[in-house]
Amino acid sequence: MEESKKINRRNFLQRSGAFIPLTTIGLSSYSKNSNNDIRANAKISIKNVDSNFEREPLNPYRFKGSAITEAWQIATRLEGESGASTIGLGTQNILWSDSKVFAAHSQSGGNALMYAMTERALEIIKGSSFTDPIQLLDQLLPEVYAYGKKITNNPDLRKTFALNALVSVDNASWLLYAKENKISKFDDLIPSAYKPGLSYKHNKVASMPAFSVGAKVENIKAAADAGYFIMKLKTGSAGTQKEMLEKDIAFLTAVHSAIGHYETPYTKNGKIPYYFDANERYDEKDTLLRFLDHAKKIGAFDQIAVIEEPFGERNNMYVGDMGVTIAADESAHTVEDAAKRIEQGYKAIAVKAIAKTLSMTMKIATPPKNCSPWRPYLST
């Protein structure tokens, strides 16, 4: 443990021989033979645990009425009794996870609280055994969540705060599970119960730049000029609801004036679609409808592909009659939350292994039998 504190995250990974590529947990993404849905899983005993973090400075990234200027990148190491060891990575986002915790502490203080929850999880699992990472998360989450409420002095702590704290632990457990069960393909890793939600194979992917609140329109135009044909645009400007709406409307007008006329062969209507993310800043449905009315007025409405998480997690309003796809993200902590959102008319759910753990993502991506189907999608 002492030695690991003296090295940075990159050296930590180099010494362990483990890494996390785009598939989140370091496995190849495709398997031609994925029929071995269920196998006799090895019982994995966790002998040693370790963790470290690196503070990554950021240009101010504005959303949710505030801004972040650094991210803590977490590396968690698990070692089994067999001698096999793996490292899972995670990125902490305090503002996204719980804006009240962010507001109540310095950025370092908020990050330290989340990291303390990661450390608590490692204390719990050291010396224990598991056969299934999803079961392991189900066991960890209630205790880590309760611990988080205690150390933040916040009885209403959002569950995403605990899930974000568990990402690196969950990733490490999946890698260890794969190593102990000799699994090398991501498709073979997925339990059969969750394959339906993760079975579709896209033949193309698109790179989508994300622009924070207050982004310069010339930078958005430059991205379109460079060939990007879908933009993620943060809305929900700082200020009162009136001030926010005025700023968001002005931003929409400027963006549409700059790139609304651009043509692309990659969309059905030949136009660049707008992906708005308000991060729960809209208090009332009527406020968002006024934003959409303005979009119709300037001819931008048909180019709105999705509006992600416009309202707070405690909203109970129906959103399926707004004429655009409304998506849930940070309010869909668990599969039960996702089911509730679908009943409220949400048409898509953001699945974020980077923020809600791979285990919870698998569960959210596969709707329960008694619920209407939904469309899971990846989100930044």
Report the CATH number that the domain containing residue 209 is assigned in CATH. Answer: 3.20.20.120
- Tokens 């974000």 sit on residue: 164
- One domain, residues 70 and 219: no
Q: What is the pLDDT of residue 379?
A: 52
Domain assignment of residue 207, given as a range: 198-378
Q: What b-and-e string marks burial along 31-41, b requiring 16 or more CB atoms within 10 Å of the CB?
A: beebeeeeeee
Judge contact between 144 and 152, C-beta under 8 A.
no
Q: What is the pLDDT of residue 200?
A: 82
- One domain, residues 206 and 165: no
Identify each DSSP E strand in 223-273 by its residue range.
231-234
Task: Report how many domains make up the chain.
Answer: 2
Judge contact between 280 and 319, C-beta under 8 A.
no
The structure tokens listed for 368 are: 């329960």
Query: What does each of the 380 residues of the chain score in pLDDT, given as a tens digit?
Result: 333 344 444 443 343 333 333 334 455 544 444 444 445 578 999 999 999 999 999 999 999 999 999 999 999 999 999 999 999 999 999 999 999 999 999 999 999 999 999 999 999 999 999 999 999 999 999 999 999 999 999 999 999 999 999 999 999 999 999 999 999 999 999 999 998 888 888 888 899 999 999 999 999 999 999 999 999 999 999 999 999 999 999 999 999 999 999 999 999 999 999 999 999 999 999 999 999 999 999 999 999 999 999 998 889 999 999 999 999 998 998 888 998 999 999 999 988 899 999 999 999 988 666 655 555 555 54
- One domain, residues 110 and 38: yes
- One domain, residues 340 and 284: yes
Domain boundary (170, 189, 208) is at 189
Domain boundary (131, 166, 189) is at 189
Q: How far apart, in whole angstroms, are the C-alpha atoms of residue 4 and residue 19? A: 16
CA 336 to chain centre: 17
- One domain, residues 99 and 130: yes
- One domain, residues 203 and 107: no
Judge contact between 144 and 121, C-beta under 8 A.
yes
Domain boundary (141, 157, 189) is at 189
Q: Which residues pair with 44 in a beta bridge?
A: 130
- One domain, residues 230 and 171: no
The Cβ of residue 142 has, within 10 Å, a number of other Cβ atoms equal to 10
CA nearest 292: which of 324, 260, 261, 246?
A: 324
Q: How far apart, in whole angstroms, are the C-alpha atoms of residue 93 and residue 163? A: 11
Q: What is the pLDDT of residue 198?
A: 84
- One domain, residues 62 and 129: yes
Q: What is the pLDDT of residue 37?
A: 45
Judge contact between 213 and 279, C-beta under 8 A.
no
Q: How far apart, in whole angstroms, are the C-alpha atoms of residue 119 and residue 236? A: 34
Judge contact between 357 and 163, C-beta under 8 A.
yes
pTM equals 0.86
Q: Is the dihedral of CA 319, 202, 364, 311 positive or negative?
A: negative
- One domain, residues 163 and 210: no
- Tokens 């033949």 sit on residue: 203
The Cβ of residue 307 has, within 10 Å, a number of other Cβ atoms equal to 24
- One domain, residues 174 and 219: no
Report the CATH number that the domain containing residue 51 is assigned in CATH. Answer: 3.30.390.10
- One domain, residues 107 and 256: no
- One domain, residues 334 and 265: yes
The structure tokens listed for 87 are: 């490292």
